[in-house]
Amino acid sequence: MSKNYYVTTPIYYVNDVPHLGHAYTTLAADVLARHKQLKGYSVFLLTGTDEHGQKVEKAANAAGETPLELADRVVKRFQSLWDKLNISYSDFIRTTQERHKKGVLEFFSRVMAQGDIYLGEYEDWYCTPCETFWTETQLIDFKCPDCNRPTEKLKEESYFFRMSKYQEALLAHIEANPEFIQPKSRRNEIISFVKEGLRDISVSRTSFTWGIPVPGNPRHVIYVWFDALTNYITALGYPNESENMTSFWPADVHLIGKDILRFHAVYWSTFLMAAGLPLPRKVFAHGWWTVEGQKMSKSLQNVVEPNMLIDRYGVDAVRYFLMREVPFGLDGDFSHSAMIHRINSDLANDLGNLLNRSTAMVNKYFGGILPAPEELSELDQAYRAKTEALPGQVDACLDDLAFSKALQAIWEVISAGNKYIDETAPWSLAKDPALHGRLATVMYCILESQRIVFHLLSPFMPETAVKGLGYLGWQEPIRESGLAWGGLQADTKIIKAEALFPRIDEKGEV
């Protein structure tokens, strides 16, 4: 089995500053990357920015900048947010980089050389914000069916990609690979879309200039989606048979939002077929966040700024909330009250208290030195078995991108820990010197279970995991071997934990 793992985020347009939606996809990719890394995979996490096209050109004009000046400025915002959010990306690709432009030209030329790109004339309805052409029948009241904004009729000479040719091959691929497009409801939408018939699509523009010129005909620039999608291979070194290209293509998963599924599942797949390259193993479209029940939009001035959230709640609380609150694939709502509720109940109460009370007890009863366990009772065995089953459960959930379910499984073990303390009542055991050995066993089990829990939490909450493990005297790197029961050694110094997550009152004050 290959031990390489390649996960991507969309590359973000630079006409907008990063918001909650961008942070969400990138965070999900990071959690997967960190989890696979923990499991011993060699991981490549790619993110970046989509810098060409009319949208960016217009935004730059409006700001009195060149498109590249605008891009340079906004790219910094993305990169500093990813640092602040602890995103462990391997590479950050910008579509204005030479390495990318070179790869796109080669990709375009190869598809053209074999006859799947041809010159023709285009007349259809164009939605500028979506950079998409629509047929008249697709329009709703002459407005864009995706964003409901006005469209305009455009006629231009254009290069076309022979997408129609790949309709049957794509359908066959989707049907033979049930895992390819997820979630299932979205897969069905794509199947119906393909069955309705694929048209050849325009892959060049002459109405503006901010893009990669078509090889041999610089009056045209390459359509921004053709350019952007290719980032997933140019970042690996395409067209060179580079080591990264050989090791990491095809991608294990493209993470995207539901609005850009068609571009990935249909356009990108057929481009790859034409270029003779294998298709990504999975394309997963997540849902959209609303904010306090409303669509997030600049005009409503309710855009959630991830930097502000991190400053207010802390990076790991934000990471936890986004992965826990909504099953990946469904739409969800962001609200400060939901965020505060999660912090208080899951992080401060369940997770924080467990660490707090258990490390305090080892300090009180054993002077902070972890005792060796004696034989495990039935109760201890059951708790141990529950903990030992957890790594497999988390693996299975994350293979399905069920982040929230993985966290629920982890929280079941955390709750079992709090219950275990209540049932074993260490404070009573401590009163009877004859039960000293029993007390030692309980202390060992409770800390050992948490050590494994913190390992599994590390992809979601990297800083908290390191902090938690530090209190447990665990200095080794977080890796797969640490998932086995029995890692903590007797005589380890256990530090009484401070509150991992201070409670927040409803007004948001710590």
Binding interface with ligand MSP (CB under 6 A): 10-13, 21-22, 24-25, 50, 228-229, 231, 256-257, 259-260, 288-289, 296
CB of 132 to ligand MSP, least distance (A): 11
Pick between residue 320 and residue 454 the one whose CB is nearest to ligand MSP.
320
Q: What are phi and psi of 178, to 5 degrees?
A: -60, -20
Shortest distance, position 333 Cβ to ligand MSP, whole Å: 10
Tell me how crowded residue 155 is: count the other CB atoms within 10 A of its CB: 9
Cβ within 8 Å of residue 80, ≥6 positions away? none
Complex with ligand MSP: residue 102 or 467, whichever CB lies closer: 102
Q: Which of residues 75 and 260 has its CB atom nearest to ligand MSP in the complex? A: 260
Question: To the nearest whole angstrom, how small is the minimum distance from the Cβ of residue 304 to ligand MSP?
Answer: 9
* Least distance (Å) between residue 477 CB and ligand MSP: 33
- Nearer to ligand MSP by Cβ, of 189 and 374: the residue is 189
Question: CB-side exposure of 79: number of CA atoms within 13 Å?
Answer: 13
CB of 343 to ligand MSP, least distance (A): 21
Q: Considering the complex, state which of residue 204 and residue 449 has its C-beta at the smaller distance from ligand MSP.
A: 204
- The residues that bridge with 261 in the sheet, in sequence order, are none
Other beta carbons within 10 angstroms of residue 83's beta carbon come to: 10
Quick one: 50 or 252, whose CB is closer to ligand MSP? 50
Q: CB of 93: closest distance to ligand MSP in angstroms?
A: 10
Angle CA 4–89–231, to nearest 5: 80
Cα atoms found within 13 Å of the Cα of residue 166, Cβ hemisphere only = 23
Nearer to ligand MSP, 181 or 260 (CB): 260
* Rounded Cα distance, 493 and 367, in Å: 9
CA atoms within 13 A on the CB side of 174: 26
Between 259 and 374, whose beta carbon lies closer to ligand MSP?
259
Nearer to ligand MSP, 229 or 446 (CB): 229
Torsion angle of the four alpha carbons 252, 27, 10, 91, in this order, in degrees rounded to the nearest 10: -80
Residue 86 burial by Cβ neighbours in a 10 Å radius (0-12, 13-18, 19+):
middle
As measured in angstroms, the least distance from the Cβ of 234 to ligand MSP is: 11
Between 254 and 451, CB nearer to ligand MSP? 254
Peptide bond into 239 cis (omega under 30): yes
* Min separation Cβ 190 and ligand MSP, Å: 16
**Residue indicated by tokens 């924080």:** 352
Pick the closest to residue 100 from 92, 90, 89 (CA basis): 92
Q: Shortest approach of ligand MSP to residue 199 CB, angstroms?
A: 21
Q: String of b and e for 241-265 (b: at least 16 CB within 10 Å)?
A: eeebbeebbebbbbbbbbebbbbbb
276: left (phi over 0), alpha (psi -120 to 50) or beta: left
Q: How is residue 343 annotated by DSSP?
A: I
End-to-end C-alpha distance for the chain, whole angstroms: 48
Please name the residues in contact with 420: beta carbons below 8 A apart, sequence gap of 6 or more: 379, 383, 442, 445, 446, 449
Cβ nearer to ligand MSP, comparing 36 with 94? 94
CB of 125 to ligand MSP, least distance (A): 20
Smallest distance from ligand MSP to CB 261, Å: 9
Sign of CA dihedral 32, 36, 39, 44: negative
- Choice between 285 and 343, CB closer to ligand MSP: 285
Q: Which two tokens stand for residue 508?
A: 């948001």
Spell out the alpha helix ranges (H) of 261-304: 261-262, 269-275
Residue number with the shortest CB distance to ligand MSP?
257
| Residue (182 or 449) nearer to ligand MSP, CB | 182
Least spacing, CB of residue 338 vs ligand MSP, in Å: 15
Instruction: For the CB of residue 471, give the shortest distance to ligand MSP in the complex, in Å.
Output: 35
| Residue 502 backbone dihedrals phi, psi, to 5 degrees | -60, 145
Q: Is 272 helix (H, G, I), strand (E, B) or coil?
A: helix
Helix (H, G, I), strand (E, B) or coil at 150: strand
